[in-house]
Amino acid sequence: MMDTTAPTLRPEQTDPPLTAQPVPLSNLSYGFAREGGALVKREGDRLVCLHRADAGLTTLLEVQRLYGTIAWQQVSDDVF
Protein backbone atom coordinates (compact mmCIF):
# COMPACT_ATOMS: atom_id res chain seq x y z
CA MET A 1 0.00 0.00 0.00
CA MET A 2 1.31 3.50 -0.87
CA ASP A 3 1.98 6.12 1.77
CA THR A 4 -0.11 9.19 0.83
CA THR A 5 0.90 11.46 3.69
CA ALA A 6 2.59 14.72 2.79
CA PRO A 7 6.26 15.04 3.71
CA THR A 8 7.13 17.25 6.65
CA LEU A 9 9.20 20.29 5.68
CA ARG A 10 11.86 21.74 7.89
CA PRO A 11 11.75 25.56 8.34
CA GLU A 12 14.72 26.07 5.99
CA GLN A 13 12.81 24.23 3.23
CA THR A 14 9.81 26.52 3.16
CA ASP A 15 9.42 29.37 0.70
CA PRO A 16 9.75 32.93 1.95
CA PRO A 17 6.44 34.74 2.47
CA LEU A 18 5.01 36.41 -0.62
CA THR A 19 4.63 40.15 -0.57
CA ALA A 20 2.14 41.93 -2.77
CA GLN A 21 3.91 44.53 -4.85
CA PRO A 22 2.10 46.67 -7.40
CA VAL A 23 2.96 45.83 -11.00
CA PRO A 24 3.04 48.79 -13.37
CA LEU A 25 0.58 48.62 -16.25
CA SER A 26 3.50 49.20 -18.61
CA ASN A 27 4.76 45.63 -18.02
CA LEU A 28 2.78 44.48 -21.04
CA SER A 29 4.46 45.68 -24.20
CA TYR A 30 2.70 46.90 -27.31
CA GLY A 31 3.92 43.79 -29.15
CA PHE A 32 2.53 41.50 -26.43
CA ALA A 33 -0.84 43.23 -26.61
CA ARG A 34 -0.96 43.17 -30.40
CA GLU A 35 0.22 39.58 -30.87
CA GLY A 36 -1.28 38.06 -27.71
CA GLY A 37 -4.57 39.88 -27.92
CA ALA A 38 -4.66 41.15 -24.33
CA LEU A 39 -4.05 44.44 -22.55
CA VAL A 40 -4.64 45.71 -19.03
CA LYS A 41 -6.30 48.93 -17.97
CA ARG A 42 -7.24 50.44 -14.64
CA GLU A 43 -10.92 51.11 -13.90
CA GLY A 44 -11.14 52.93 -10.59
CA ASP A 45 -9.54 50.69 -7.98
CA ARG A 46 -9.49 47.51 -10.08
CA LEU A 47 -7.56 46.18 -13.04
CA VAL A 48 -9.33 44.83 -16.11
CA CYS A 49 -7.79 42.66 -18.81
CA LEU A 50 -9.38 43.38 -22.18
CA HIS A 51 -8.79 40.43 -24.47
CA ARG A 52 -9.80 39.27 -27.90
CA ALA A 53 -11.74 36.01 -28.31
CA ASP A 54 -8.66 34.42 -29.87
CA ALA A 55 -6.30 35.34 -27.01
CA GLY A 56 -4.45 32.17 -26.07
CA LEU A 57 -4.36 30.55 -22.69
CA THR A 58 -0.63 31.27 -22.40
CA THR A 59 -1.31 34.99 -22.88
CA LEU A 60 -4.08 35.07 -20.27
CA LEU A 61 -2.00 33.10 -17.78
CA GLU A 62 0.89 35.55 -18.22
CA VAL A 63 -1.46 38.46 -17.47
CA GLN A 64 -2.70 36.66 -14.36
CA ARG A 65 0.88 35.86 -13.30
CA LEU A 66 1.86 39.52 -13.56
CA TYR A 67 -1.22 41.12 -12.02
CA GLY A 68 -2.84 38.47 -9.80
CA THR A 69 -6.47 39.25 -9.13
CA ILE A 70 -7.89 40.87 -12.22
CA ALA A 71 -11.27 41.25 -13.95
CA TRP A 72 -11.60 39.79 -17.45
CA GLN A 73 -13.51 41.34 -20.34
CA GLN A 74 -13.68 39.83 -23.81
CA VAL A 75 -13.96 42.48 -26.52
CA SER A 76 -14.49 42.35 -30.27
CA ASP A 77 -11.62 42.82 -32.70
CA ASP A 78 -13.04 46.24 -33.60
CA VAL A 79 -12.80 47.44 -30.00
CA PHE A 80 -9.37 45.92 -29.46
> pLDDT tens digits, residue range 35-67?
999 999 999 989 999 999 999 999 999 999 999
Are 51 and 37 in contact by the 8 Å Cβ rule? The answer is yes
Are 68 and 49 in contact by the 8 Å Cβ rule? The answer is no
Are 45 and 70 in contact by the 8 Å Cβ rule? The answer is no
Burial level of 28, CB count in 10 A (0-12/13-18/19+)?
A: buried
pLDDT for the residue 55: 95
- 71-74 and 46-51: which strand pairing? parallel
Asked if residue 32 has pLDDT above 70, the reply is yes
Prediction pTM value = 0.66
